[in-house]
Amino acid sequence: MKFVIGMAALAAVLLAGNANASSMMPAGNVPEAGLKGIWRVVRARPAPWSQLQLHSARDAPLLEYAVEFADGTVKGPPPLACKTAVYSSGVSEFPEAFSGHLAKDTSHAAAAKLELSEPNLSTFRVICGKTVRDFYVDDESRLLWAEGQILYVLERPEGDPDQYPVGYSGPSFDCVQAKSTLEHLVCRDASLSKSDSAMGAAYDALQKSETRESFETVRAAQKAWLAYVTKHCNAGGAMPGTYGDRKTAVDCLADLYDERSQLISELKTANAGTLKLEPRMRFRARPKPAAAESDVYPWMSGGKPASAFNAYIAGQLHLDKWRIDDRNVFPDDADLDDVTLIARRSYSLAGFDSRIVSVQIATRDFTGAIRDVLGQISLTWDMKTGRRVLLKDIFAPASQWKAAVTNYCRRELERQFAERGATDQPDAAEIDSTLSADTNWLWSRDKASVVFADVTIGGLAAGEFDVDIPLKDLAPYMKPDAAVR
C-alpha cells in the first residue's frame, strides 16, 4: 500500500495548487518511482464504453506481456515500446479520463466497476512522439490503460523483477478464456504463469513422445492434481476480494506449481531399438486422513522383455496399493489430524539399451515430522534373463572386487568431503554396508555408480554422495558373461 500513499500525497500537493482542474507535472525522460520498472499486463477486457467482445488472446494481443518503464525508453511489445519516452505524472479528473469516455459516468458506476473510487485519478503519462498514453492508478495500485476499445490492467510482479524479463510471460493457456478462479490467479501472477508455462511445454512434449496408454496416465494424474490444488488452496470458489486473500491463495499455489512444474519437466522417454521406456504417473488424494500421493514410475513397451520388467516394477513398487497406507513409513497417529501427509515417488534413468535398463527410484515423503523422509533404491534389469541384476551376477566369486572398490570409494569420498570443507574420514562400516547392498548400485555400459545415501559428516546429515567407477576399472573382477559387459 505504500505506492498508493505516495500517489495520494502527490495528488494532494497538485490539487492544492489547482483545486478545480487536472494537473500534471512537467515532463521529463525519467519516470516517477511509482511507475519505473517492470509491470505485467495481467488482465484485458472490453472497455465499459465499447461493445467489443473478447474471444481469445488474439483479440487482446498485449495480455500477459511484461513491460519496463525506464529512463527515456519503454521496453515491451508494440504499441507500448518507445525509444524516446517522456514521462509526466499528476492527477486527472473523471470527465477527462480515458479520453473523455467517463464524462457521462456521472454516477461513477463505470468508474467503481473499474475500481477507480477517488474523485481525481492519480495518473502516469507516457509521451512517445505525438502519442500520449495515460495510465490511471486504481484502488489496488494497479495501472489501467485503454488501447482503443480494450482496457488493460497492469500489475507489478511479486518478488525479484529480474525473474520476469520484458516480453511474453503468460501461462500455457489462453487467459482471455480463463474461467475458474485458479486460472485467473495463475494469469495474474508472474511466477505462477512461469511455472504453468514450463509445465505445459513439458506436458505437450510428453504427449508427443509417449505411447497413448502411458500418456493417458499422465493426463489422468494431471487432472487429479489440478483438482487437488484447487481445493487445497481454496481456488475453486469466487475470486478472493482482497489483496491479502488473493496472496494467501497464490502463496499456497506457488510451491505446489513450482514442484509440479519441475517434476513434469524432468520426465523423459528413452528408446533402445524397438523398446521404449517411459514415465507413467498417478496422483490421488483423500480428505481423511488428509493425504496426497504423487507417483512416477518407469514402464516399458515395444518388445518381449517389456512384460517381465513391467510385472517386476508393479510388484516391487506395490502399484496396487496407496503408499500412504504403508505404516512403516506413515504412522497411524491421531495427532496428525490437521496435517496433510504427502507421498512422492519418482525415478531417474542411469542406463538403457537393448541389454539392460538401470533406474534409481527415489521417494520424498512428508510424514508429519519436521523434515521430509528421503529414500532410494537402485535397480538394473537384464533384458536377456528377464530378472534383476545382482552383485553376484556381475563379480566373479574368487575376485577381490570388494577390496578394490572399497579403496576406490574411500579415495573418492575423501575428495568429495574435502570439497565441502569437511575434515572427517568416510565411515568404513558405512562403505562396507553400502557396497554389499544390490539396491545401492546403478550400472550402465561405461560405468557403475555406487549411491551412498544419508551420509553424515560431523554428526550432521550431509545428503547423498555418488561414486562413479569406470567399467574398465572393474573389468578384471567381473564375470565374462556379466550383463553389463
pLDDT score of 19 more than 60:
no
pLDDT of 421-455, one tens digit each? 888 888 899 999 999 999 999 998 899 999 998 88
pLDDT of 188-199, one tens digit each? 998 999 999 999
Do 193 and 133 lie in one domain? The reply is no
Q: What is the pTM (predicted TM-score) of this model?
A: 0.85
pLDDT score of 160 more than 80:
no
What is the spatial distance between Cα 120 and Cα 96, in angstroms, rounded to a whole number? 10
pLDDT value, residue 335: 62
Residue at which a domain ends, from 248, 267, 286:
267
- Between helix 181-188 and helix 190-209 the angle, nearest 10°, is 110
Banded model confidence at residue 462, pLDDT cuts 50, 70, 90: confident
The tally of domains found in the chain comes to: 3
Do 187 and 239 lie in one domain? The reply is yes
Do 89 and 150 lie in one domain? The reply is yes
Do 263 and 243 lie in one domain? The reply is yes
More confident residue, 464 or 151: 151
pLDDT value, residue 404: 96
Do 146 and 206 lie in one domain? The reply is no
Do 42 and 82 lie in one domain? The reply is yes
pLDDT of 273-294, one tens digit each? 999 999 999 999 988 888 999 9
Do 118 and 225 lie in one domain? The reply is no
- Domain span including residue 96: 2-169
- Check which CATH number belongs to the domain holding 238 and give it: 1.20.1270
pLDDT of 28-81, one tens digit each? 999 999 999 999 999 999 998 888 999 999 999 999 999 999 999 999 999 999
Do 130 and 30 lie in one domain? The reply is yes
Q: Is residue 58 part of a domain?
A: yes
Q: Is residue 287 part of a domain?
A: no
Do 68 and 129 lie in one domain? The reply is yes
pLDDT value, residue 94: 84
pLDDT value, residue 2: 37
pLDDT value, residue 420: 86
Do 80 and 57 lie in one domain? The reply is yes
Do 188 and 165 lie in one domain? The reply is no
